[in-house]
């Protein structure tokens, strides 16, 4: 399974980066191949200063070896080995009317002292972070997520949408990071689903990513914007940074397993503002976004 999924994310990385380069039309992805001393490595691809994408990355990694102390404590074991691989992407457009997007699909195995698999699971999802909210974009993104889920189980979309709203919650701000999408973790084999079923579901979601995001980019890329729109985008990017550095489990996992720091922090936007006690005008577009972030909506009925 681990080789099957790693091959999949290698191919998906190629598909996504080549498509995004065509859309941008100016910048291309710079590739870095890196090795992890304890075992494994990755292929980082970053795009910067493009016609559409101010900064973005589409990274794959495969790491393995002895369980770090932090993970031994988490799993309640004294020793063990692990394998983890995944694709992680974040795209920060220049235009404030195009949302930031994040996605991740990953697989994990843990072994005992004989090398036998003790546990294995899939995780991942995709979520949208707009700066100016267009309902039709939110509906399109969520509908695409739901379509992928419905091919496998009718309860997947409502369950993983709810999990996404709960996970991407900036508790110290009492607001969501964005308008959500899907988030799932610890998808293991059970009486209802085999590990192959889990693989088929996660790859279905991964294959739907471009369909969920590219039409939004195409629709919003020509909207003119002023400095006030860019300022708002950078203030909201600050909240994005806060979540990634304070709450995100993927970031913390990378830091605790001696991951490559440039790849881990690739998700951070290039320009950010923190404005003291920033407030938005009543009934403004900015205020409308904040209302939705404080009270996550049901986009699909």
Please check whether residue 299 lies inside any domain of the structure. Answer: no
Q: Where are the alpha helices (DSSP H) in 54-134?
A: 69-75
From residue 198, give the alpha-carbon distance in Å to each of 16, 185, 204. Answer: 22, 11, 10
DSSP state of 134: -
pLDDT of residue 253: 74
Q: How far apart are CA 290 and CA 68, in angstroms?
A: 39
Domain hosting 245: range is: 2-294
CATH number at residue 49: 3.40.1500.10
Query: For residues 301 and 161, which has the higher predicted lDDT (pLDDT)?
Result: 161
pLDDT of residue 249: 84
Q: Is the pLDDT of residue 69 over 90?
A: no
**pTM for this model (two decimals):** 0.94
**What residues are paired with 126 via a beta bridge?**
103, 182
* DSSP letters for 182-246: EEEEEE---SS--HHHHHHHHHHHHHTHHHHHHHHHHHHTT----HHHHHHHHHHHHHHHHHHHH
The closest of 40, 30, 36 to 260, measured between CA atoms, is 36
Please check whether residue 93 lies inside any domain of the structure. Answer: yes
Angle of the 2-24 helix axis to the 195-207 helix axis, nearest 10: 10
Question: What is the residue-averaged pLDDT of the chain?
Answer: 94
Q: Residue 166's Cα: distance from chain center in Å?
A: 15
Q: Of 92, 102, 140, 229, which is the active-site residue?
A: 102
Please check whether residue 300 lies inside any domain of the structure. Answer: no
- Contact status, residue 95 vs residue 63, Cβ threshold 8 Å: no
DSSP state of 10: H
Please check whether residue 87 lies inside any domain of the structure. Answer: yes
Lowest mean pLDDT among 34-38, 72-76, 152-156, 281-285: 72-76
pLDDT band at residue 255 under the 50/70/90 scheme: confident
DSSP state of 20: H
Q: How far apart are CA 106 and CA 6, in angstroms?
A: 9
Burial of 10 (0-12, 13-18, 19+ CB in 10 A): middle
End-to-end CA distance of the chain: 36
pLDDT of residue 114: 87
Please check whether residue 121 lies inside any domain of the structure. Answer: yes
pLDDT band at residue 254 under the 50/70/90 scheme: confident
Q: How many domains does the chain have?
A: 1
Please check whether residue 149 lies inside any domain of the structure. Answer: yes
Sequence-ordered list of residues with C-beta below 8 angstroms from that of 12, at least 6 positions apart, any chain: 87, 105, 206, 207
Lowest mean pLDDT among 91-105, 123-137, 200-214, 278-292: 278-292
What burial letters (b/e) apply to 188-218, b meaning 16+ CB within 10 Å?
eeeeeeebeebbebbbebbebbbebbbebbe
Instruction: Kindly state the average pLDDT of the residues 74-99.
Output: 91
Please check whether residue 215 lies inside any domain of the structure. Answer: yes
Instruction: Kindly state the average pLDDT of the residues 271-292.
Output: 92
pLDDT band at residue 75 under the 50/70/90 scheme: confident
pLDDT band at residue 283 under the 50/70/90 scheme: confident
Model confidence over 162-206: pLDDT tens digits?
Answer: 999 999 999 999 999 999 999 999 999 999 999 999 999 999 999
- Contact status, residue 89 vs residue 12, Cβ threshold 8 Å: no
Q: Is the pLDDT of residue 28 over 90?
A: yes
Token pair, residue 150, equals: 């419905």
Please check whether residue 195 lies inside any domain of the structure. Answer: yes
Angle at 20 between CA 201 and CA 152, to 5 degrees: 10
Whether 172 is a known active-site residue: answer no
């Amino acid at each position: 399974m681990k080789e099957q999924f790693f091959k999949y994310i290698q191919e998906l990385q190629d598909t996504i980066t080549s498509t995004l380069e065509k859309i941008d039309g100016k910048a291309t992805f710079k590739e870095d191949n890196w090795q992890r001393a304890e075992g494994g490595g990755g292929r980082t691809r970053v795009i910067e200063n493009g016609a559409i994408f101010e900064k973005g990355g589409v990274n794959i990694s495969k790491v393995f070896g002895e369980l770090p102390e932090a993970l031994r404590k988490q799993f309640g074991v004294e020793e063990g080995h692990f394998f983890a691989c995944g694709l992680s992407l974040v795209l920060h457009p220049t235009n404030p009317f195009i949302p930031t997007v994040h996605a991740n699909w990953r697989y994990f195995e843990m072994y005992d002292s004989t090398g036998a698999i003790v546990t294995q699971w899939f995780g991942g999802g995709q979520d949208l972070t707009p700066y100016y909210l267009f309902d039709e974009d939110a509906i399109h993104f969520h509908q695409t997520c739901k379509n992928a889920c419905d091919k496998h189980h009718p309860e997947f979309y409502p369950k993983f949408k709810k999990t996404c709203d709960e996970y991407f919650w900036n508790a110290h701000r009492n607001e969501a990071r964005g308008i959500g999408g899907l988030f799932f973790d610890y998808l293991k084999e059970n009486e209802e689903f085999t590990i192959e079923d889990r693989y088929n579901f996660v790859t279905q979601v991964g294959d739907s990513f471009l369909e969920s995001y590219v039409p939004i980019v195409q629709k919003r890329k020509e909207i003119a914007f002023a400095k006030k729109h860019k300022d708002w985008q950078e203030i909201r990017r600050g909240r994005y940074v806060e979540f990634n550095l304070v709450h995100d489990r993927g970031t913390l996992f990378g830091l605790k397993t001696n991951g490559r720091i440039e790849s881990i922090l690739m998700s951070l936007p290039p320009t950010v503002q923190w404005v003291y006690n920033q407030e938005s005008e009543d009934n403004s577009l900015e205020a409308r976004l904040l209302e939705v972030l404080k009270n996550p909506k049901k986009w699909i009925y």
